[in-house]
Structure 1
Amino acid sequence: MKNSAEQLPPLLRIGFRPFFLGASLWALLSILLWMCNLFGLSGHFIGGSEIPAFLWHGHEMVFGFVFAVTAGFLLTASANWTGTNPASGLALAFLVFCWMGGRIFFYTGNLSLAACSDLCADFGVLIAVARVILRARLWRNLMLLLLLALPAFLNLYFYVIEISSIPFDPALATEGSLGVFFIFILLIAGRIIPIFSSNAISNLHIQPKPLLDRLSLLFGALALLLWTFSAYTLSPFMADLCRLIFGIAAILHFWRFLNWKPWRAHQNGMIFALYLSYGWVIVSFFAMILESFALILRSMNIHFMGLGAISMAIAAMICRVSRGHTGRPIVLGKIELLFFVMMTLAALLRLIASFPSFMAQQTLFISLLMGSASCFILGFAAFLFCYAPFLCTNRADGKKG
C-alpha cells in the first residue's frame, strides 16, 4: 500500500514544486504587466490599485517572485536537513494559494485582502520552516529563519503604510527586503558553491576559510544595512563610513570568490552559473561605492542586486534543485543554457538602460527596457517549457518526493 506522501499529487508533495512553478509564472506575467504599464497600456497605476506602478513592480518582484523561490527552497532544504517535510498536501496548498491571493488582490486594488493573504503566506512559510528546524535543534540555521522573518515584517510594514496612509516611505520595505534576500544569497552561496564545485569538477580542492566567510557575511550585512538607509540624507561622516564599509565588503567578497577558484568553473556549466551570480554580488558592492559618489543612479544598483545577483542565483538554483529533487541528472542542456544566457542579457540591457545618457534618449531607453524584459520573459518561458512537467509529475527515479 502506498504511503500518504505518494498518494498526494506530485505538485503538493514538497515545497519547491508549486513555489518554483508559481514564482516562474509570476516572474513572466508580472514583467509583461509592467511593460504594458510602461507603454501606456494600463495608466499610471497598476490594475485597479492606487499604488504607483513603480512601487507595485518593486513589491511584486521582491515579495512575489523572490519570496516564492526562497519559500520553495527553504521548505525543501529544511525537509532534507531534518527528515521532516514542513508542508505538504493541504498545508502546502494553503500556503501557495495565500501567496497567489496576495498577487491577485494587490493587482486588483484590494489592499486589505492582499495584506491578509500575502502575510498569511509570509508568516505561514516562516512558521512551517521554523517548526522543523527548532524541533531538530539545528541552531546553525537560525540565521536563515531570521532572514525569512525580516521580509515578512517588512511586508507587514509596507501594507500598514499603504492601507493607513502613514507618511513613511514604503520603498524602505522593498529595498530592505531586497537587501535581506541578498544576504540570503551570500550565506547559501558560501555553503553550496565550494561543496558543489569540489564534487562536480575533478581535482578541484577549495581550502575552507571560516574567518574569511564570517567577515564577508558580517561586512556584507553591514554594507546592505547602510545601503538601505543611504537613500536618505546622510552626514558627511556617515557618507564616508558607508563608502568604507562598502569597500571592505567588496574586497572581502572578491577575496572569497577567488578562494573558490573561479577560473575552474567553466568546466561545469551548472557550476559556472553559480559563480556568475556571485560575480554580480561583487559588482553590486563596488556599485554601492559609485552610487555613494552619485556616479550611478540608485535604480542601477537595485538592478545590479535584483536582476543581476539575485535573479541569476535563482536561475541557477531552481534548475539545480528541480533536476536533483525530481531524480534527474544535474547537467547543462540547451534549455538551461538559453535560460542563463537570457537572464544575463536581461541584466546587462537593463543596466545599460540605467545610464543617464541612455535615459535621456526616450526611444533608445524604451528599446533597451523592452530588450531586457523580452530576455527575462523568454528565459522563464524556456524554464517553464522544460521544467513544468518535471515539477508536476513523479520523480524520474521512482523515489518519493
Structure 2
Amino acid sequence: MTTTAALRAGQPWPILAYAFRPFFLLAALYAPLTLLPWVGLLLHQVSLPLGMSPLLWHGHEMLFGFVAAALAGFLLTAVPSWAKVEPLIGARLAGLVALWLAGRLAFWFAGSLPGWLVATINLAFSLCVLAWALPALLSPEGRRHLSLGTLALLFVLAQGGFYLAWLGLLPGRLGALDMLHLAANLLLVMIAVTATRIVRVVSQVAVGESGSRRSLRFTPAREHLAVATLCLFVCADLVARGHPVSGWVALAAAAAQADRLSEWPWGRAMTKLYLLLLTLAYVWLMLGLAVVGVAALGESLPAYAGRHLLFVGAVAGAVLAVFCIAGLRHTGRPLVLPRTIWLVLACLFLGTVARSAVPALWPQHYLLGSVVLPALCWGFAFWLYALSFARMLLSARPDGLPG
C-alpha cells in the first residue's frame, strides 16, 4: 500500500505506523552527531557552550539521546505484541517523536538554557515512554516480560540521577559520571534479558536456513546465571568501581556470558548475518567484562578499554542487531539483510577494536587511531544502516498489513 493509499484508508503515514520506524531511523541518523563536541574538543577544532563538560555531554547524548530513542522504538514495538494492546501510532507517536527532538535541541543549547528546563524536556520523553509501556507490562499478558520494564524504569531513574547531579541536587558521593556508568551497565543487563527472547527465535531460523539438523537447547539456568551475574556487576560497579572485588564480579559475569554463548548455534548458522550481528555483540559483552575485571585486579590493562568494548561494541552492536532484525520482521520482510550491512558490521568491528586497543598498545597514535578512526567508523556504520533501511522504514509493508 502506498503512502497516498494508506492516508485515504485512514491509516497513518508509514513512518508513524509503528514506533520502531521513526525511532530506529532517527537514532541511526543522530548517533554520529553525539560524537562531534567530544571529538572536536580532543582535536581542538570545536568548542561549544554545552553547559557541562564535553565528556558528560557526550555520555548523555549517547545514552539518553541515541540509546533512549532505540529503546523507545524497541519497547513501543515489542510491548503491543507481548501484552496484546494497541500500539502507539499516528499523532500520538508524532508527539513523542517531537518531544525526543526537542530534547536533542535543548541539549545542544544546554549552555544557553536553564538547566532545569533542559532536564525536564529530556526526562519528560523517557517518562512518557514508561507511562505507556509499564501499564501494558503489568497486564496479565505482559507480566512475563516485566523484567524489561523494570530495567527501563531503572534506566530512567539513572537519567534522573544524572540531572540531579548535574544541577548539584544529588546528595551523597555519587556524581553525574556515576549515573552515566550506571545507565550504561543497566543496558548490559537489558542485552542479556532481550537476548533470551530474540536468540531463541533467530537461531531456529538460522539453523533451518543453513541446512543443519542440529537440535538447539537453551538452558534456562544458564540464561538466569548470565543475567544474575550482570545484575551483581551493576551493583558492585556502582558501589566500588575499580575495586578488586568489583573486578572479580566482572570476571564472574564474563564467565557466565561465555558459558551461555556455548549453547548458541556455532557453525554454518553463523553465516547468517542477523545471527552473527547479535552474537558478536554478545561476544563484545563477554570480552568487555573480562577486560574490566582484569583491569580492576592489576595495572596490566586500562579500565577504559573494557568500557569501550562494552559500549562501542556490545551496546552499539546489540542496538544495530535489533535495528536490523526488528526492521525486517516488523516491515513484513524475510530475514534477508542488505549486503551493505556486512560493511556496517565491519565498520563497527574496526571502530570497537581501534577505540579499545590503540590507547593501550599505541598511545602515540591516540588521536588518529582511537578518536578519529573510531568516530568515522561509528558514523559511517549507522548512517549506512539508515541509508540501507530508509526505504523500508518510510514505506508501508509490502503485504498490506498494518505496522
Task: Give the TM-score of the pair, scaled to structure 1.
Answer: 0.91
Deviation at 1:271, TM superposition (A): 1.0
1:54-113 Cα offsets, whole Å, 9 max, x none, are: 111111111111111111011100112123234222221222222222221112122322
2:330 is aligned with 1:325: yes
| Structure 2 CA distance for aligned equivalents of residues 286 and 5 of structure 1 | 54
SS in 1 for 2:367: helix
State how far apart, in whole Å, the 2-side matches of 1:253 and 1:104 are: 38
Check conservation: 2:287, 2:306, Cα contact below 8 A.
no
Q: Deviations over 1:139-174 (max 9, x none)?
A: 211111111111111111111221236574101111
Q: 1:207 aligns with which of 217, 220, 223?
A: 217
What corresponds to 2:192 in structure 1? 186
SS class of match (1:354)? helix
Indicate yes or no: 2:151 matched with 1:141: no
Partner amino acid, structure 2, of 1:99: W
1:295-325 CA-partner distances (Å, limit 9, x unpaired): 3223222211100111111111101111111
One-letter amino acid of the counterpart of residue 351, structure 2: A
| Distance of 1:376 and 1:2 partners within structure 2 | 35
Aligned: 1:219 with 2:229: yes
1:195 aligns to what?
A: 201
The code of the aligned residue for 2:372 comes to M
Whole-Å Cα distance in 1 between the matches of residues 283 and 290 of structure 2? 11
In the TM superposition, residue 126 of structure 1 has moved relative to its aligned partner by 0.8
The question of 1:271 aligning with 2:275 is answered yes
**Equivalent pair of 2:338/2:388 in contact (CA under 8 Å):** no
* Cα distance in 2 for residues equivalent to 1:194 and 1:176: 28
Go from structure 1 to structure 2 and tell me whether the alpha carbon gap of 1:94 and 1:265 turns closer, same or farther (over 3 Å shift). same
User: 1-side partners of 2:177 and 2:336: how far apart?
Assistant: 39
User: What is the match of residue 68 of structure 1?
Assistant: 69
User: In the alignment, is residue 344 of structure 1 matched against residue 349 of structure 2?
Assistant: yes
In the other structure, the counterpart of 1:242 is 246
AA aligned to 2:282 is Y
| 1:88 corresponding residue in structure 2 | 89
CA displacement at 1:136 relative to structure 2 = 4.3
Q: Is 1:311 paired with 2:282?
A: no
**What is the aligned-residue RMSD (CA, Å)?**
2.1
> Percent identity among equivalent residues?
27
- Aligned counterparts of 1:75 and 1:298: Cα–Cα separation in 2: 35
Partner AA of 2:308 in structure 1: H
The alpha carbon displacement at 1:182 in A equals 0.8
Q: Distance in 1 between matches of 2:200 and 2:384?
A: 28
Name the counterpart of 1:281: 285
The counterpart of 1:170, out of the listed 172, 176, 182, is 176
Residue in 1 that maps onto 2:257: 253
TM-aligned CA deviation for residue 7 of structure 1 = 2.1
Unaligned 5+ residue runs, structure 1?
Answer: none
Q: Distance in 2 between matches of 1:281 and 1:135?
A: 32
Distance in 1 (alpha carbons) for counterparts of 2:154 and 2:342 = 34
Aligned pair partner of 2:38 in 14, 34, 49: 34
Structure 2: stretches of 5+ with no match in the other structure: none
CA 291–228 in structure 1, closer or farther in 2 if over 3 Å, else same: farther
Query: Could you state the TM-score of these two structures normalised by the residue count of structure 2?
Result: 0.90
Aligned-pair CA distance for 1:13: 1.7
- Provide the residue aligned with 1:374 in structure 2: 376
Summarize deviations over 1:113-133 as a string: whole Å, max 9, x none: 221111111111011111222
What is the count of residue pairs matched by the alignment?
Answer: 388
Relative to structure 2, which stretch is displaced further, 391-400 or 135-144? Answer: 135-144
Report the residue type matching 2:333 in the other structure. R
Counterpart amino acid of 1:142? L
Q: Which runs of 4+ in 1 moved over 4 A?
A: 1-6, 165-168
- Tell me the SS of whatever aligns to 2:362: helix
- Compared CA separation, residues 86 and 260, structure 1 to 2 (3 A): same
Q: Which amino acid aligns with 1:171?
A: L
Q: Which residue of 1 aligns with 2:394?
A: 392
For 2:265 and 2:286, the matched residues in 1 are separated by: 15
Q: Secondary structure at the match of 2:162?
A: helix
Distance in structure 2 (CA, Å) of the matches to 1:5 and 1:18: 21
In 2, Cα distance between equivalents of 1:205 and 1:345: 33
Kept after mapping to 1: 8 A contact 2:79/2:133? yes
Deviation at 1:200, TM superposition (A): 2.2
Aligned residue type for 1:64? G
**In 1, distance between residues paired with 2:41 and 2:333?**
39
In structure 2, the residue matched to 1:262 is 266
Secondary structure at the residue paired with 1:135?
A: coil
CA distance in 1, matches of 2:283, 2:138: 34
What SS class does the counterpart of residue 217 from structure 2 fall into?
coil
In 2, are the aligned partners of 1:17 and 1:72 still within 8 Å (CA)? yes
